[in-house]
Amino acid sequence: MTIHREGYKSIALATLVFGVINIALFWFFSASLLWICIAAFIITLVFLLFIVSFFRIPSRTLTLGDNLVVSPCDGKVVVIEETVDVEYFNEKRLQVSIFMSPANVHVNLNPLSGEVVYNQYHKGKYLVAWNPKSSTENERHSVVIKKDNVQVLVKQIAGAVAKRIVNYLHVGDKVQQGAELGFIKFGSRVDLLLPPGTKINVGLNEVVRGGVSVIATL
């Protein structure tokens, strides 16, 4: 397991806060209120470990395949439905949405190899990520990856807690399946918009792993 580069500053700040709080408490109160010092140490340690865990990148054997759409993130499938995309395709698409809780790994991966033909950031609201309107009204970043005659839109969506979406791609980039697409800090959602008729390999409420679980077969 490694730590994602997006977490360096957050972990450093959390470590500083952890140190300052506990040094101050033990310096001033350890003689008279030792139990408060110990309780504060445990609480702040749990918080620090949570921050470190949030930015973890586990070692995994990736699933690769020319005709496969692999999960772009860890989480739970909360939507599988046909929808009309008004951002890029302007036609019906098959939507698969994955909700990421704060406990999930939050690095986002390319679901397939191909060329980036669209990349657009949208300001928006911070509705809870499972709200159906979050797909079109929340802060989000959309990328379309084209492989041969197939185009797949990957939409990173901020939730009520997530306040920063990071996307590493640019129009014209040649990307590899399973490589980093971006990162969303502290809880969020990722939508996949697939061609109509695509075979879906997951079900509602199924837990998936980024880079490993096969979402669909093209």
Please pick, among 97, 135, 142, 188, the residue that the annotation labels catalytic. Answer: 188
Which residue shows structure tokens 């439905």? 81
**CB proximity list for 185: less than 8 A, separation 6 or greater:** 6, 10, 54, 106, 162, 163, 164, 166
Residue 156 to residue 43: CA distance in whole angstroms: 32
| DSSP per position, 18-55 | HHHHHHHHHHHHTTT-HHHHHHHHHHHHHHHHHHHHHT
Give yes or no: 188 in active site.
yes
Q: Where are the alpha helices (DSSP H) in 99-216?
A: 134-137
* Order of strands, sheet of 107-109, starting from the edge strand that comes earlier in the sequence: 107-109, 180-185, 164-167
Rounded-to-5 percentages of helix, strand, coil across the chain: 25, 40, 40
Residues with active-site annotation:
188
